[in-house]
Structure 1
């Protein structure tokens, strides 16, 4: 049984004081005021339940980040890290999975890693061999030849082609099937150019609508959610029309694109925290100047798109692009989300109920309710009054197991 000063009902956006939560195995059994739950707890206590005293803390469901890259580190030299072996990247993923969990993020979606390294990490976490969050992993991100998710930094004579490259609708379907064959439980396709690639313009559309639709159809037939990397308006609109479930980055959205997203129910994932890190440390970490200049192009526009989409009532999820900044600092994005237009309740909903709905886990994750998985975190104050407390998570339980106390 967990006893706490209060908990946040994220769905309703309000705080309940003097709370007790009973956990049995990996599920929440009951949630409520301490006096009422104590009656249920008296039965629980007879079953040798442990009491965890968190009376000065506030509880929340474990939060979720829908856009991370666990196999990469922002602190590493940008170009040198592109030559890391798959075993080296897998070790990185193991390390970063633990840091992410300790920060209170009990569920993440990894949107691209080489050699199925994060899929292996996910499976090791599920087997109980290493600590880490629940992971939805895409395997290789799909890209056109020379696109944002291709390997464009190698010399031509190296003939280096990223494993996710696929041109044309049938090739796209084949690549989706290949990712699923090797364990992907989500799919990502790169619809436009990006910041950290060579030879691509951030806002320019790459995949055409027919190719995007092929990816969405193939993923949906297998019950998987599909994400589209898309900075530019034309790529965003094409992805929405194609039936893509979430748009990543969303930097240059006009009003029509926002209206389309609202009407279609498409989820938007805007990484509005990492700009300061890139501009402060990117050059020292070997990021080419051309890429830093592209970050300058998107940062203000992306935050403006985030603000306008929030005001329009678009479905928003928490996606930070961890690896562009250090893993474990994910919680710092909450304050940015409030600064740029969300209420604290909306920011928490983006990282809980909305993210759970995106990955089709709204009946098991994202809330503190009986029957849900016991993914529970604690912070030192009420995040609805001060969202910055989400940067300092002091207690982490995932699947009924305490990892940080």
Structure 2
């Protein structure tokens, strides 16, 4: 529900040179050379692969060793097929084989002497989960996501570009952070201390009414892209989770959001929107996905279906306001919950792709399995709810063919759960083991 404040954060170290912007972000994320080095040492069978893309750094990128997951029921979310007593072979950060014991025999033999073996007998094996809406600011944040089975994510902004630095970690330290599509800074009228993230943002600090002019919004968007953002986050409405704000007030209209979409040049724009007017304007401006979207209308749903706009409802984040101690938020939650659930059902029935996102911020991490359960309770089948957190969200993030299902050459990400996700909408809350980028980051087997 975005109760957090995107517009402020800890101050950057003083005297930070221009070329140190992302180094400062790394420091704020809690990343040190010692941390990365220790994580590399933990990666089983770590070995040199390709040369560094950073000319000043003399080292080489690392890849993880081999992992065999055997005996469990392997689930393919795309087809809904389940293979009992299956075997999954991961090596060098990729899937090398998936299938029966007989069809994977040769792949198993090739890595058997150096592989970590996980016995998943009596359990289900699903691809690493993909959270389409988080706010990643530090190592502890992403560690908690990994523990809950999220191995890929889209970060809808951080305070000082920390998510852009976190997105670079998997290539250097497998298992330290999920794969990430990072948005950098939130394109919003008031930046607070986040304006200090980049000297090139200084001109925007002088704007009396905040960052609202289409030219300024385009400029801000280009700054994010220049710093390494792969997606862009903006808003149509204020936050629902702050009592003093009206989540149906219009912040940016179609023209303003359109200027952001145009400047993004193909980078997907995700838009925080609650009101019917705000959602419709964002959809017609060409955003890639609508976030929250409580009061979406049938007319706008039809347009979303026509355009292929994704819907990230973040049900848990919004609907949980009903139990908030603040009476204003509690009233909103009680009003929004049935409307929100109906919006998800209507969008799904109209052919809009629903994806799972938790809107987790910092260490206040909501397990993605809980959002999947919420989607199931709203009316999606167990399979469609699973797809929302795997194949569909992988497609939205541009990871189709790599994440969301097990295919040779795909990401070496897997989650072992205690229940059948094809029939049990709560199964993804029952995480037993997690492999991220070929590294076992949780093992309760």
Aligned mates of 1:238, 1:372 — CA distance in 2: 37
Aligned mates of 1:203, 1:236 — CA distance in 2: 10
Aligned mates of 1:161, 1:236 — CA distance in 2: 29
Residue 378 of structure 1 contacts residue 396 of structure 1 at CA under 8 Å; is this kept in 2? Answer: yes
SS of residue paired to 1:140? coil
Moved more, 130-139 or 395-404: 130-139
User: Is 1:170–2:215 an aligned residue pair?
Assistant: yes
Aligned mates of 1:165, 1:27 — CA distance in 2: 46
Q: Which runs of 5+ in 2 are unaligned?
A: 1-67, 196-204
Moved more, 193-202 or 228-237: 193-202
Matches within 5 A, 1:319-334: 319-323=357-361, 326-334=364-372
Return the offset for 1:39.
Answer: 4.0
Aligned mates of 2:219, 2:425 — CA distance in 1: 44
Return the offset for 1:377.
Answer: 0.8
Aligned residues: 365
Aligned mates of 2:413, 2:174 — CA distance in 1: 18
Specify the alignment match of 1:29 in structure 2. Answer: 96
Aligned mates of 2:279, 2:144 — CA distance in 1: 32
Residue 118 of structure 1 contacts residue 139 of structure 1 at CA under 8 Å; is this kept in 2? Answer: yes
Specify the alignment match of 2:188 in structure 1. Answer: 143
Specify the alignment match of 1:53 in structure 2. Answer: 119
- What CA deviation, in whole Å up to 9, does each residue of 1:57-81 have, x standing for no partner? 211110011111234xxxxxxxxxx
- What CA deviation, in whole Å up to 9, does each residue of 1:268-325 have, x standing for no partner? 0001123564343x43xxxx65444444442321121112111222111111212399
Moved more, 31-40 or 207-216: 31-40
Q: Which runs of 5+ in 1 are unaligned?
A: 72-92, 151-159
Return the offset for 1:196.
Answer: 2.7
Specify the alignment match of 1:264 in structure 2. Answer: 307
Matches within 5 A, 1:2-401: 2-45=69-112, 48-71=114-137, 93-124=138-169, 126-128=171-173, 131-144=176-189, 166-197=211-242, 200-219=245-264, 221=265, 223-275=266-318, 277-280=320-323, 282-283=324-325, 289-323=327-361, 326-401=364-439
Aligned mates of 1:328, 1:229 — CA distance in 2: 18
Q: Relative to 1, partners in 2 of residues 1:129 and 1:368: Cα closer, same or farther, differing over 3 Å?
A: closer
Q: Relative to 1, partners in 2 of residues 1:97 and 1:145: Cα closer, same or farther, differing over 3 Å?
A: closer
Aligned mates of 1:58, 1:3 — CA distance in 2: 10
Aligned mates of 1:33, 1:232 — CA distance in 2: 50
SS of residue paired to 2:427? helix
Aligned mates of 2:190, 2:117 — CA distance in 1: 56
Residue 68 of structure 1 contacts residue 321 of structure 1 at CA under 8 Å; is this kept in 2? Answer: yes
Aligned mates of 1:385, 1:318 — CA distance in 2: 18
Residue 321 of structure 2 contacts residue 329 of structure 2 at CA under 8 Å; is this kept in 1? Answer: no
- Give me the TM-score of the superposition, normalised by structure 2: 0.76
SS of residue paired to 1:131? coil
Specify the alignment match of 1:154 in structure 2. Answer: none
SS of residue paired to 1:273? helix
Return the offset for 1:117.
Answer: 2.9
Residue 321 of structure 2 contacts residue 332 of structure 2 at CA under 8 Å; is this kept in 1? Answer: no
Residue 188 of structure 2 contacts residue 234 of structure 2 at CA under 8 Å; is this kept in 1? Answer: yes
Residue 322 of structure 2 contacts residue 332 of structure 2 at CA under 8 Å; is this kept in 1? Answer: no
Return the offset for 1:145.
Answer: 5.4
Return the offset for 1:137.
Answer: 1.8
SS of residue paired to 1:51? strand
Aligned mates of 2:149, 2:294 — CA distance in 1: 27
Aligned mates of 1:146, 1:2 — CA distance in 2: 46
Aligned mates of 2:345, 2:170 — CA distance in 1: 36
Return the offset for 1:36.
Answer: 2.0
SS of residue paired to 1:8? strand
SS of residue paired to 1:396? strand
Specify the alignment match of 1:84 in structure 2. Answer: none
Return the offset for 1:359.
Answer: 1.4
SS of residue paired to 2:315? coil
- Give me the TM-score of the superposition, normalised by structure 1: 0.83
